[in-house]
Amino acid sequence: MSSGRRARMVLPVWKILLMHMPFRLLRRGGPGFAPGVRASFAWLGNMGRHMLFDRDRLKYFAIRLRQFFPLR
Amino acid sequence: MPSSPLVSIVIPSYNHAPYVAEAVASALAQDVPLEVVVRDDASIDESWRVLREMRDARLRIVRNDANLGAHATLHAALDEARGDYLAILDSDDRYAPQRLARCLALLRDGPCDLAGTDIRLIDAAGRAVAAHWWIDAFARLKAVWRETGDWTATLLEGNVFMTTSNFVFSRRLWEKLAPFSAHRYVHDYDFLLRALIHGARLGWIDEPLLDYRLHEANTISESPLHANLETAALLREHMPALLAGRGKNSARAAARLRHLGSQWARTERHEQEILLALQHEASTAKDRDWKKLVDDRDQWIAERDHWIEERDHWIAERDERIAERDHEIAALRHEINEFRRRPLISAWRLKTASARVRLAGWYASARQLLAMANAPVLRAGSYAALRRLVEARRTRLDALSLDVFDTLVARVIEPPGHIARRVAQCLGERIGNADIDGILAARGEVEAQLRAAAQAAGGDHECHHDDIVAGWIARVAPRHTAEEQADLAGFVAGREYEFERLALTAKPAARLFLQWARAAGLRIVAVSDMYLGERQLRRLLDDLGYSGLIDCIYVSSEHGIGKYSGRLFAEMLAREGLAADRVLHVGDNFHSDALAPVRMGLAGVFFDERHERRRRRRQRSAAIFAERGGVWPGRMLAEVLAERLRSDERAKLDDFFFQYGLEVLGPVFCCFLLGLVERVRRDRPERVFFLARDGALFLRMYEAWGTLTGIGLPPAIYAYASRRVVASAALADGLDCERALIGLYNPKQRGLQSILKTYGLAAESFAGIAREHGFATLDERISNWSDPRLAAFLADERVQEKVRPAGEEARALLHDYFAGLGFFDHARVAMVDIGWNGTIQRFMTSAFGGAESCPHIDGYYFALVDGMHAEALAQGAIEGLMLDRRRGEPQERAACDFEELFEQGARAPHATTTGYRRGADGAVEPVLKNDDAPDRQAEIRCNPLIAAMQEGVLLCLEHFHAAQRLTGFGFDALKPYALALIERAVVYPSPREVAELGRLAHTEDFGHDDLLDISARSVRWRDFLHPRTLRAKLALLPWRYAPFARLRTPLATALARAQHLMLSEGRKP
């Protein structure tokens, strides 16, 4: 339920970009609901960076390693 | 003067200006024939001027050209004297009035040669002096004269005459003894001793007839030492003559010797005293001079030592710098040598130096963390996991301590500082300052100062919300009075609480967990690092449903200490009387809630909800991107809205239409309502008319918004009107081609029958005339809109005669109905409808606009296609908020690509209005379509679905309002994202959406009985091989993108969309 709601109400950025593509290709009209290609890639990059380099997770991961594999 | 007077008084004068007049006057006052000879010795003060002003016949005043000295002046004056007797008067002494008469009598009758009198001592002002050593010395000498009666003995004892002013002597004596000796101090004593030696007779009057003035300029006080020395020399000189025996009286001689010895001893004693005094003074002066020199020398020594110290300091610095430089040079030299020895390795080391430093930092922090890993840092990923953790430790725990923000309560907006920005915006609006960044910066400065001050005072850097607000208001509104500032502070605190309340939602799992923990007997303590006060935090938690679940709250702002340093934990343990090892702390911040409690001895649990971290990440990025504009502000608001709905139980209803209204139509209609409210507040119409049937939902939303906001909006009225009744009323001017073509817009039109039905005219009465003009049947489809048969039919006067009366009656009813609603009582009104052409407004304006009572109408429509009516509005304004074809923005057109969806979403459950009738009381009532009609039956069957959809929209409105208050975005900022939502809903629907929405029954325009089939036709991939057939098929569909929902990828839909956009340029709207 929640993921469905988020997808219909909070549109994924790639979907907004895709929806805007016909208008961009046909060069019709102003910006409208264009997210901007650069902004879209920046957003996706942000999300990727957060997922990869979540510092709390790395720290916690290191601590759990220590708990499971204690140094002699 | 021809005859020589009896007495000549000689007055030598030098620098005695204050006294000389008195002296001369006392001399002139003597009652004897006299002359007064005054000789001024070139005085440099006012003496000569004083003397010149004195006029007396007996007075002779002479002035020396140059200063000749007292001795020469006295002699020159005595030489000028012509009297038989001579008297000397010093210019600072004065005679008693009878002195000269008595002295003369003594000189003549004595007989004696020189006479003197007793002396009265006076001071500089002329007053008698009562006590003085001079008086005692003089009394001693007078006593010797009284005792002995021997002038020699008396004079050997001392000079009893004391001064030349006391001399009155005969000229014969002067001629014998002249001149006075050259002694400066004792010339009178010498005169007396020589007079004695020469046998002169001395006389004495024991009455004070002379005033001797004692002042600081007396000659005798110039040098007492020299006076005593002169006295001793004088006595030595005259002693033999004085002591040579005249008589054979040895007693008298012995007495004289005795007196001489006494004077001598006295003189020697005086000399010794004077010498001692002089020596003492000299040595003291010497000491003083020496001391000054010694002090100077000491000061120079101190300065020199100071300079030496400074110089040593500079030398030390310089040596340090030299050592540093040498050290650096040595290091560089070593490096160079190393480089020469191993060039490749050294180059690599140089290149990676910064990276190695960073790595070393990470390694150090990782080591620190690993070192702490022995301590019990636990992790819980949900409240269920936390409950398992607590259950495992139940016997070892007395209390649970929880962080508040992001542990007990969830935020719907990130970053938390956004609330401060919103509060700054509200404050800026309130005080009329548009510089929001400046206001926010002022808050930041005040907070930083308070925190720095708190840290300097010894606590952690925490501050209280009340102090921040007070300092902020004082900085932002310095010219306001104290009451105004207090008022502003209350306003700011209220806004901040309101925004915090909107931004926070309780976690249901947290509430259940707390209930379980309390039932298990654990004490619950909330510990938070927050600038809000404890009272506000308690109120927040109670509003969120935590009342009765938390025993006490510890906030860092109240205590001035924080969790991250561990001091707040220590404070909490001390106040609650708990042991550290029997308390478990739970929180979402790794450093404050996991590591710091462990340092203080508590057990720390890192509450790491995965979805929370994702949400925070997502919303923080959304907030950053929202500053770019475009779709991003709307997306951020959608994130906030989704978060709020996630924690609302009412939003979890499992009904497709409810969820569709909540998620799809809700944000779109709410955005439209936001725009409507902004325009209504801008244009301020007196009434807002929501037109049936599509204005029903908008009316409910408008009233709900007014309730939620609390701002006064113009009152709203629901008006039963439709295009059908307006079209009927428009027939009052006749049925022309343009109006007739309206009936042909429907693609499934049936020619004249559609036209007549559109205007509510009975088709049978026009059958004959139609046949005459070439129409075989009334339901013959008219494909060519410029068909001449149609033109001829419409030009037929018989048609117009049938049409006009019906039109006029309809128009009168329409006018009376709206008059009954108060439409014509206001100067400015607004009309709100779904769209699409603004027919009702245009007709109202054209039909009633000429009358004075017709108000200015502002039309606000969801979408304005503006295809049917080409002419501009006569008066008033018409605007499509979401779509306005006049703007020519192609990305707005998705709304008109599936109009029925929005009409169905917003319509009222009652039937469409087909006309009006007058009731019994004369009021005009709307006539609705009969519910027995088949299309109406289908609508009634769909009413529950529509109602569910509208309930979803209203729930979305409630949360949309909160999200809009939190984010502060306006209609213009949110519209791009709403357009994206419309595009997604219309062009890229999911198969389930297509299937469910196809169940809705939609009546065609103008009250026709046919249902518009909005379900999908099946389109297959092979249809793309025949594009014209596909295009014709799709043209008949009201929802041309529905068939593409079955396809797996949205690419086909995007291509179809592109094709549609390309073709729609030349398409007739």
What are the tens digits of pLDDT across the range B659-673? Answer: 999 999 999 999 999
Q: What is the mean pLDDT of residues B307-321?
A: 92
For the record, the structure tokens of B153 come out as 């003995």
pTM of the complete model: 0.65
Q: B722-726, B949-953, B1009-1013: which has the highest mean pLDDT?
A: B949-953
Q: What is the mean pLDDT of residues B645-658?
A: 91
Determine whether B264 is exposed, middle or buried from the number of CB atoms within 10 Å of its CB (0-12, 13-18, 19+): middle
For the record, the structure tokens of B510 come out as 């947290």
* B630·A59 Cβ contact <8 A: no
Radius of gyration of chain B (CA): 65
Confidence label for B48 from pLDDT (cuts 50, 70 and 90): very high
Beta bridge partners of B553: B526
- The residues, any chain, with a CB within 8 Å of residue B413's CB and separated by 6 or more, are B419, B503, B619, B623, B640, B643, B966, B967
Q: What is the mean pLDDT of residues B132-136?
A: 90
- Other Cβ atoms less than 10 A from the Cβ of B624: the count is 16
- Other Cβ atoms less than 10 A from the Cβ of B1068: the count is 6
Rounded to the nearest 10°, the torsion over CA B945, B950, B951, B955 is 150
- A13 min Cα distance to partner chain B (Å): 9
Q: Which run of H or E residues covers position B606?
A: strand B603-607
Determine how β-strand B168-170 pairs with β-strand B399-402: unpaired
Q: What is the pLDDT of residue B215?
A: 82
Q: Which run of H or E residues covers position B539?
A: helix B534-543
Q: Is the pLDDT of residue B1066 over 60?
A: no
Predicted confidence (pLDDT) per residue in B58-81, tens digit = 999 999 999 998 899 999 999 999
* A8·B631 Cβ contact <8 A: no
* B638·A10 Cβ contact <8 A: yes
Neighboring chain A residues of B654 at a CB cutoff of 8 Å = 1
Confidence label for B982 from pLDDT (cuts 50, 70 and 90): very high
Predicted confidence (pLDDT) per residue in B578-591, tens digit = 999 999 999 998 88
Q: What is the pLDDT of residue B369?
A: 67
Does residue B509 contact residue B386 with C-beta atoms inside 8 Å? no
Q: Determine which of B625, B669, B992 to mutate to test the interface with A (most A C-beta atoms within 10 Å).
A: B625
Q: What is the pLDDT of residue B1068?
A: 39
Q: What is the pLDDT of residue B243?
A: 82
B371 and chain A in contact, CB less than 8 A? no
Best CA proximity match to B641, nearest among B357, B396, B957: B957
Q: What is the mean pLDDT of residues B824-834?
A: 93
Give the Cα separation of B551 and B905 in Å (integer).
48
Q: Is the pLDDT of residue B638 over 70?
A: yes
Determine how β-strand B202-213 pairs with β-strand B94-95: antiparallel
The beta-strand segments (E) located in B440-582 are 504-506, 523-528, 552-555
Does residue B447 contact residue B468 with C-beta atoms inside 8 Å? yes
Give the Cα separation of B859 and B723 in Å (integer).
15
Residue B1027 has φ and ψ, to the nearest 5°, of -65, -35
- B887 min Cα distance to partner chain A (Å): 10
- A27 min Cα distance to partner chain B (Å): 10
Question: What angle do helix axes B187-197 and B224-243 make, rounded to 10 degrees?
Answer: 0
Does residue B468 contact residue B450 with C-beta atoms inside 8 Å? yes
Q: Which amino acid is at B82?
A: R
The residues in B 271-330 lying below 8 A from A, measured between CB atoms, are none
Predicted confidence (pLDDT) per residue in A37-47, tens digit = 889 999 988 88
Identify which has the larger pLDDT, B376 or B185.
Answer: B185
Could you say which DSSP state residue B664 is in? Answer: I
Q: Is the pLDDT of residue B1067 over 70?
A: no
The residues in B 822-851 lying below 8 A from A, measured between CB atoms, are none
The beta-strand segments (E) located in B720-843 are 828-833
Confidence label for B1017 from pLDDT (cuts 50, 70 and 90): low
Q: Which run of H or E residues covers position B377?
A: strand B377-380
Does residue B623 contact residue B415 with C-beta atoms inside 8 Å? yes
Q: Determine which of A2, A13, A19 to mutate to test the interface with B (most B C-beta atoms within 10 Å).
A: A19
B576 and chain A in contact, CB less than 8 A? no
- The residues, any chain, with a CB within 8 Å of residue B149's CB and separated by 6 or more, are none
Could you say which DSSP state residue B872 is in? Answer: P
Predicted confidence (pLDDT) per residue in B200-236, tens digit = 999 999 999 999 998 877 776 778 888 888 899 999 8
Q: Is the pLDDT of residue B1009 over 60?
A: no
* B369·A62 Cβ contact <8 A: yes
Q: Which run of H or E residues covers position B913?
A: strand B913-918
Which residue of B628, B652, B983 is in closest CB contact with A19?
B983
Neighboring chain B residues of A71 at a CB cutoff of 8 Å = 370
**How many CB contacts within 8 angstroms connect chain A with chain B?**
134
Q: Is the pLDDT of residue A52 over 80?
A: no
* A63·B369 Cβ contact <8 A: yes
Best CA proximity match to B112, nearest among B35, B209, B187, B192: B192
Which residue of A9, A16, A64 is in closest CB contact with B641?
A9
* B988·A11 Cβ contact <8 A: no
Q: What is the pLDDT of residue B936?
A: 87
Which residue of A19, A47, A66 is in closest CB contact with B980?
A19
A58 and chain B in contact, CB less than 8 A? no
Beta bridge partners of B380: B607
The residues in B 643-662 lying below 8 A from A, measured between CB atoms, are 645-646, 651-652, 654, 659, 662
Portion of chain B with pLDDT greater than 90, in percent: 56
Q: What is the pLDDT of residue A1?
A: 43
* A18·B1050 Cβ contact <8 A: yes
Give the Cα separation of B996 and B656 in Å (integer).
8
Which residue of B638, B646, B890 is in closest CB contact with A23?
B890
**Taking CA atoms, what residue in A is nearest to B589?**
A56
Confidence label for B599 from pLDDT (cuts 50, 70 and 90): confident
Taking 3-state DSSP, the helix, strand and coil percentages for chain B, each rounded to the nearest 5, stand at: 60, 10, 30
Confidence label for A36 from pLDDT (cuts 50, 70 and 90): confident
Q: Is the pLDDT of residue A16 over 60?
A: yes
Q: What is the pLDDT of residue A2?
A: 47
Give the Cα separation of B466 and B589 in Å (integer).
25
- Neighbour-count burial for B749-769, b at 16+ CB within 10 Å, e otherwise: bbbbbbbbbbbbbebeebbee
Q: What is the pLDDT of residue A6?
A: 73
Give the Cα separation of B729 and B740 in Å (integer).
14
The residues in B 950-979 lying below 8 A from A, measured between CB atoms, are 976-977, 979
The residues in B 756-775 lying below 8 A from A, measured between CB atoms, are none
Q: Is the pLDDT of residue B756 over 90?
A: no
Confidence label for B245 from pLDDT (cuts 50, 70 and 90): low
Q: What is the pLDDT of residue B260?
A: 87
Q: What is the pLDDT of residue B727?
A: 81
Confidence label for B4 from pLDDT (cuts 50, 70 and 90): low
Q: What is the pLDDT of residue B847?
A: 83
Using alpha carbons, list the distances in angstroms from residue B186 to B180, B256, B285. 10, 20, 31
- The residues, any chain, with a CB within 8 Å of residue B912's CB and separated by 6 or more, are B692, B693, B722, B724, B928, B929, B1003, B1007
Q: Which run of H or E residues covers position B558?
A: helix B556-559
Residue B553 has φ and ψ, to the nearest 5°, of -125, 135
Identify which has the larger pLDDT, B876 or B511.
Answer: B511
Best CA proximity match to B402, nearest among B526, B515, B528, B295: B526
- The residues, any chain, with a CB within 8 Å of residue B426's CB and separated by 6 or more, are B491, B492, B495
Could you say which DSSP state residue B1004 is in? Answer: P
Q: Is the pLDDT of residue B322 over 80?
A: yes
**Taking CA atoms, what residue in B is nearest to A40?**
B625
Q: What is the pLDDT of residue B1069?
A: 42
Neighboring chain A residues of B377 at a CB cutoff of 8 Å = 63
Determine whether B939 is exposed, middle or buried from the number of CB atoms within 10 Å of its CB (0-12, 13-18, 19+): buried
Q: Phi/psi class of residue B149: alpha, beta or left (left: φ > 0; alpha: ψ in -120 to 50)?
A: left
Give the Cα separation of B285 and B279 in Å (integer).
10
Q: Determine which of A25, A50, A63 to mutate to test the interface with B (most B C-beta atoms within 10 Å).
A: A63
Q: Phi/psi class of residue B695: alpha, beta or left (left: φ > 0; alpha: ψ in -120 to 50)?
A: alpha
The beta-strand segments (E) located in B977-1039 are 1002-1003, 1011-1012
Question: What is the rounded average pLDDT for all residues in chain B?
Answer: 89
Could you identify the residue written with the tokens 């007492």? B224
For the record, the structure tokens of B302 come out as 């101190």
For the record, the structure tokens of B426 come out as 């509200």
Residue ranges of domains in chain A: 2-68
Give the Cα separation of B157 and B148 in Å (integer).
11
**Taking CA atoms, what residue in B is nearest to A17?**
B980
Q: What is the pLDDT of residue A54?
A: 65
For the record, the structure tokens of B288 come out as 């003083």
Three-class secondary structure of residue B215 per DSSP: coil
The residues in B 887-906 lying below 8 A from A, measured between CB atoms, are 888-892
* A8·B664 Cβ contact <8 A: yes
Three-class secondary structure of residue B114 per DSSP: strand
Q: Determine which of B635, B992, B1049, B1065 to mutate to test the interface with A (most A C-beta atoms within 10 Å).
A: B635
Give the Cα separation of B502 and B410 in Å (integer).
11
Neighboring chain B residues of A9 at a CB cutoff of 8 Å = 638, 641-642, 645, 663-664, 667, 981
The residues in B 663-692 lying below 8 A from A, measured between CB atoms, are 663-664, 667
* A31·B630 Cβ contact <8 A: yes
Neighboring chain A residues of B1057 at a CB cutoff of 8 Å = 22
Best CA proximity match to B231, nearest among B279, B275, B263: B263
Give the Cα separation of B852 and B1028 in Å (integer).
54
How many whole angstroms from its chain centre is CA B362? 41
Predicted confidence (pLDDT) per residue in B781-790, tens digit = 888 888 888 8
Which residue of A39, A63, A67 is in closest CB contact with B628?
A39
Give the Cα separation of B425 and B437 in Å (integer).
9
Q: Is the pLDDT of residue B240 over 90?
A: no
Q: What is the mean pLDDT of residues B803-825?
A: 91
Q: What is the pLDDT of residue B40?
A: 94
A34 and chain B in contact, CB less than 8 A? yes
Q: What is the mean pLDDT of residues B871-878?
A: 76
For the record, the structure tokens of B443 come out as 């808050």
